[in-house]
Copies of this chain bind each other. A is one copy, B any other.
Amino acid sequence: MKQYLDLEDINDLDGLIQKAIALKSNPFNHQDLGRNKTIGLLFFNSSLRTRLSTQKAAQNLGMNVMTLDLKTDSWQLEFEDGSIMDANTAEHIKEAAAVISQYVDIMALRAFPTLTDKAQDQKETILKSFQKYASVPVVNMESATAHPLQALTDAITIVEHSTIKRPKVVLTWAPHPRALPHAVPNSFAKAMQMMDVDFCITHPKGYQLNPEITRNTRIIYDQDEALMNADFVYAKNWSSYADYGKVLCNDQSWMITSKKLNNAKFMHCLPVRRNVIVSDQVLDSDQSLVIQQANNRTYAAQAVLKELLESM
C-alpha cells in the first residue's frame, strides 16, 4: 500500500481485515516499525473518534504524532494553480504539502465537503492537492466524498460479528436535522461491494448516492422490504446528491427502532443522534455494535499505517 485515499488503495481487503484483527490482540508488537517515524494529523474539520483512534494507532506502532488544526493553528491555503495570491490565502498547497512532507513520514488529512459546490467536492480538491504535492504517503481521515478508514472499520466489525457465510447487509438512510456529507455511505457501499455479502441500500426517493459509486447495488425505496431478514443494518443520514447538499425529507418513520431492526445487528459510524437516527432502545441493546465499531477504528488505522510503514 502506497497511500490510503480510498478503498481502491487496498490490494486485499480480506487480508487487511485479518491483519487488523490480529493487531487488536497484540497492538504493541510492531513498535520497531514506527520508531523515529512521525505521522502528521492535519484537520480542516472537527474530529473526536478519528483524531483519537488514529493517534492511538500510530502510538501503538511506536510512532510520534504531530497534530495541526489547519483551521485555527495555521493560515488559509490556496488550491488554485496560477492564482495571484493578493487576497485571503497566505500559502499555496504546493508549498504547504511539500514542506509538511519533510517533517512527517505519513500525512493524514481531514477535509469535509462544501455541500454547496458539487463539482469542487467531487474533484476532492483538498485531498487530491495534498496527495499531488506531498512526497510522503497520504491517509484520508474523511474527505469530501470518502471515509475509507471508517469503511475498513465497518468491514472488520461485520467480519467479527458474522454468524453466517454470506450475511445480508442493509445501508439505510435515516433522518437528521442538518445536511450531512456522503463520505460515509459512499465508502461503506464500496466496502460492501468488495465483500461476500448480500448488500442493498434503502432511502427515500431523491436520496440516490452517486451512481458511479452504487453501480449495480440494489436500491430499494421501501425500507421495510429492504430490512427484511437483514443481519446487519447500517443507518446513516446523508443529504441529497442529485439536489446537491439539500435536506429533502425529514420523515421520522425512517428512524431505526427495535421493531424494524428485528434480529439484525445495528451499526452506525457515530456521532449518532439518539431518537432521531435510531431509538434509545436499539442503541442500549446488545444488538448495537456502535461501540465495537468505534473501537475498531484504532485497529483499522493501525493496519493501514503498518502497511504504509512496511512499504517504505
Contact = CB atoms under 8 A, between A and B. Distances in A.
Contact of A66 (B56, B275, B295): B56
A190 to B, nearest CB: 24
A98 to B, nearest CB: 5
Contacts of A17: none
Given A48-B91, A291-B95, A295-B102, A38 B56 contact: yes
A85 B38 contact: no
A100 B294 CA distance: 9
Interface in A210-267: none
A66 B55 CA distance: 8
B298 A95 contact: no
A76 to B, nearest CB: 10
B48 A68 contact: yes
A192 interface: no
Given A46-B75, A83-B275, A28 B38 contact: no
Contacts of A102: 291, 294-295, 298
A72 interface: yes
Contacts of A85: 273-276
A90 B269 CA distance: 13
B66 A273 contact: no
Q: How many interface residues does chain A have, given as a range?
A: 35 or more
Nearest to A291: B98
B28 A36 contact: yes
Contacts of A28: 36
A47 B59 contact: no
A92 interface: yes
Contacts of A72: 46, 69, 72
B275 A84 contact: yes
Given A74-B47, A295-B102, A272 B38 contact: no
A87 B290 CA distance: 22
Contact of A73 (B47, B66, B271, B294): B47
A278 to B, nearest CB: 10
A270 B38 contact: no
A99 B68 contact: no
A103 B298 contact: yes
A131 to B, nearest CB: 17
A42 to B, nearest CB: 10
Contact of A86 (B46, B69, B78, B276): B276
Given A73-B46, A270-B91, A59 B52 contact: no
7 contacts: A27-B36, A36-B60, A47-B74, A72-B72, A85-B275, A87-B177, A99-B291
